[in-house]
Each structure stands twice: as structure tokens, then as C-alpha cells.
Structure 1
Amino acid sequence: MDPAHDPLSQVFSLLDVRAARCTRFAAGGNWSYRFPAKPALKFGAVIRGDCWIDFGDEASHRLATGDCFLLANAPAYVLANDEDVAPEDGIASFDWAQSDVARRGGSDTVLLAGSFAIEASGAELLLDALPRFLLIPSRSPSATVIQSTLQILDLEIRGTGIGADVLTDRLADVLLIQVLRAALDQSASEGFGWIGALVDARIGKAIRLMHADVAHPWTLDALAGAAAMSRSAFSRRFKSLVGLAPLDYLLRWRMRLACDRLRRGATSSATATQVGYSSESAFGHAFKRVYGHAPKRYWRRHATGEKFPTTSNK
């Protein structure tokens, strides 16, 4: 697929999704550590041994060697190999400021973890499309590919070779896409928002068409026809997968692109044309519908760090 027409690649580029940090934890004996809630996207993987992850309000999940998981907007959780051990503070117990590698006793259990930086004003576009906890077990058909990436990542985190930081970041980026692919391969597309909709043959085609030519005057009839569905069936299926009606999704995607262009210095009139509006006035009304104010106020709010109110893009 042409990356320019791949919606997931476009969103990752627009939100500037990139690895922020990768860490390694090795432990022996019995242990338990709690970690705070964090409104971010994180991954974890068990390289050796096994343990539990416990969110407190639901059953614990057993993690075995080769298992990999994602956390999206995760609440506080506990990682432990013995659930009867009182948890210690997983941040304060180690000098994470000085090292990406932490050790406790031996190395019966080894975990890798990492987090991703996302452009703040649009983070919910990605985070809200993912379940809070997403597990790719070692028995998954895609696990072999993921484990190969993890093995190299483990070597780079521990290594001192030149370019290790760059390689670590790139491998984490690759790992994120591999895990998302594996999750969609093992699950029904429901529950993954617009990401899951991409693998639906008909709805995915409609989304790719909108992304490929965002300025086109798309109508519900045209999109339904491209998906070879009736208007009503297409609308129902689209909303059940994406959480938005088709033209609402298009509106919000156009406004995401508009924010990016305005932030980069484009004028309101030029941006209006680029995202499919025949007049600056029509564009302004659409922008205000999504963000609550006119485009000309965008820079002032953006410069002061004020959070933009948005409608969820689940």
C-alpha cells in the first residue's frame, strides 16, 4: 500500500508517534512493584520467566515468556511474580533517571518496556481507539516476528555500541506496528475503533478513499457505493466499527489535518482549500463545530498550551 494513502501511517505521521524511552528490568526471587496511571501508550514484553499484571478492578493477567502487551491510557497497575508480596513503588525503587536498566537480585524474570510520545492535541485519536490492555500471547501466529524484534531490542538496550539509542527507538516503533497488526489478526475488528475498521474490507476501503483525497466532495452515496453497500447498511457498519457516522469521521479527519497545517504556518484560506472547503467561511464553521472556536484563534490557544476540546474519535 502506498504510505501516502495508508490511514494508519498518515495518523502516525500527523501525531508524530515515536518511541520516547525503552527500559529493561531483571529480577530474581519474589517481587512485586506498582506503577502509577499514565495517559500514554506503553508496551511491555516478557523476555524470560513469567509474572502477573494486575489492574486492581479485574482479574489478573498471567504473562509468560514471549508475551507482549500494550497499555493505552492505563490506570495504576502492579507487576509481580508473587501476588502475595506487598508491592513496592516501581518508580522510586530504581534509579531510572540514570539508567534504562534496572536489576533486583537475579534475572529469573526479564521484562522490556517502553513508552511512545504522541503530539498532545491529537493523542486521543490514537489512544481512544485502543483497548486499555492488549495482550499478544507467545502462541499467537505473529509472535515469532515480534519476538525477533524483541531480541534485537534487548541487545541494544543493554549494549554500548554506537547508534544504540537510535536503533532502540526505531525498533520500538517497528514493534508497535507489529503488535497492532498481530492484535487485529487475532481479534474481531470491533473494539479497535477506526484502527479496527481499516481491516474491514468494505469500511476500510471507504476510509482509505477519504484519506487518499480528503478534499474530494465525498457524499454518503459515493462512499457507500465504493464499499458496495446500501446507504443504511454502510452507515450502520461504519458507525459500529468507528464510533462515528462516515461524514462525521471525514469532518474530524479534515480538522485534524487543518490543525496541523495551521500549526505549520498555513493561512486559513489556503487550509480551507486543502481540506475540501470552497470558502474560508465554510471552513471556519466546520472548525468551530469540532473545536469550539474559529481557526484564527488556534495559534493563540496553541501557543499558551490550552487544551483543545474535541469530540472523541473512537
Structure 2
Amino acid sequence: MPDFTVQELLKTPLVEVRDVVCAGLCRGRSEVEQVARTQLVFPYRGTWLRHVAGDEVVADASQVLFFNAGERYQVSHPHAGGDASLVLVADEALLREVAPAELLREGAPLRFRMPRLRIDPRAQVQVALLRHGLREGTADALEGESLALTLMLRAIGPRTTHAAGSSHGRQRLVDRAKLVLTGDLARRWTLAEVAAVVGVSPVYLTQSFREVEGVPLYRYQLRLRLARALDLLGECEDVGMLGHQLGFSSHSHFTAAFQQAYGRTPSEFRELALQRRRPPAGR
């Protein structure tokens, strides 16, 4: 049985969209791999690590990762349960038009200077809408291309890019804290507990996380929970139970947080996802 599956959701001269689901059976590092064309990878379920040139990046639903053409890398899985990502491979001229010049290396082929960027809740919604529409076959090629372009503009456009900051040491510390939180999204951690696991004081962890990620630790955890909800709402029968399973204190807490982040309630998003599955009237 293969460790991962790749489903091609869209392929046009402008953009290719793939859904990559990994079972996470191999906890150690994978064989060395590389891609022929630069890819934008949006994790939407689970957590994994990408190892490049002696460094590693935590991949989760709060960011987009750049897999540069010809760049050698390995992947490992810190937690059981597998993971999934939406992969975009865009026409190079399109990518150069979308991405600010300071994000790109000089020369050809197109490559990014950094391994990742943070994305905001709107980009997370675009990932979910693009995946749902293409997977259920309700979005045709034109709509799929438009949704993919909107996602790219939101994730790497000049007005919305969020590069990680601070020193290498603080970045590694923050990555360790991320792995603690993503190991159990439903657990209601205290700041002292997370700090103790990673071996620093609560004050230092708080300062480091905000400096590196640009958001407090609790908001990062909230965004991961909400992103997981985006992934599951199309299949769930009980929205309130889903909120409880993801660690929200109540249905009202889940609804308020979801609506504040995404501009619609969980029930409204679920209905939207279900509508995309229904055939048009008259068929």
C-alpha cells in the first residue's frame, strides 16, 4: 500500500491543482525527493516536517510552503494520523506576475527565497472552497482557475504576505511549540505546560512566538482548530459535536470564532459545501 495518494483536481495550461493525501505510515525521513516545477503547497490536514539543506520547516494549515524546482528535500511525520495538502503548480509567467519580486530568487527557473509564508484565514477558506469545488465536480475549469488565482493572490500577493521573522534559534523554538500543539488539537493546553515541554519560560515562549509568527500562541492554536473544521464540515452531521471534538468550550464559542475568522457560521459553510455536491435542479 503506498504511503500517499495524489488526485489531480484540475489541469489547464495556466494551473494544475492536486490533492495529496499521506497516510503518515513512515515516521522517519523519506527518501530524497525533488520537483521539476516550483509548487505552492497548502497543508490543510495534519502536520509534517520538510527538511531542506540541513534545516526543517513545520508544515501545517497556517502557511503555504514553497517547493522550488530542482531543490532536494525530505519529509517526515512527527504525529500519527497522516496529513493532506492542496498543491498548486502555476504557469511561471503567472507566478512572476503575482509574487512580489523580493520573494523570488534571480534567474530561471522561478524559485522562492524563503521556504514558507504564513497565510491568513481568508486564504484558508480559499483552500477549502477550491478543494471542495474541484473534488465534487461543481467547479468547471474557468471557475477552478479563478479560485486558484484568488488563492495565490491572497497567499503570496504583495498586500497579504507574512514572512516568518526573528533568529534561527527562536524559529526552532517556535517550531517545537507548534509540534506540541498540533499533536493534540483538542487538548486545552496552558501556557506553562507548553513552555515546560519545550524547555523555556512562559514569558520567553510568548515573546518568541509572537515575534516569529506575528500572532499569539493561543491564536495560532485557534486558527489550526478552525482550519481543521473547514476540512471536516462537509462530512460532519453534528456541527456542535465537531466543535467539542476540536477543543472549543461550547457550540457558541465555536460558532463565534468561526464566523469571526471566515465571515460565515459553521452551519452556513457546511450548507455551502453540501450545495456544491448537489446536482443542479432538473437533472
Scaled by the length of structure 2, the TM-score of the pair is: 0.46
Please tell me whether Structure 1 or Structure 2 has the larger radius of gyration of its CA atoms.
1
Q: Which has the higher contact order (CA 8 A, sep 6+)?
A: 1
Scaled by the length of structure 1, the TM-score of the pair is: 0.42
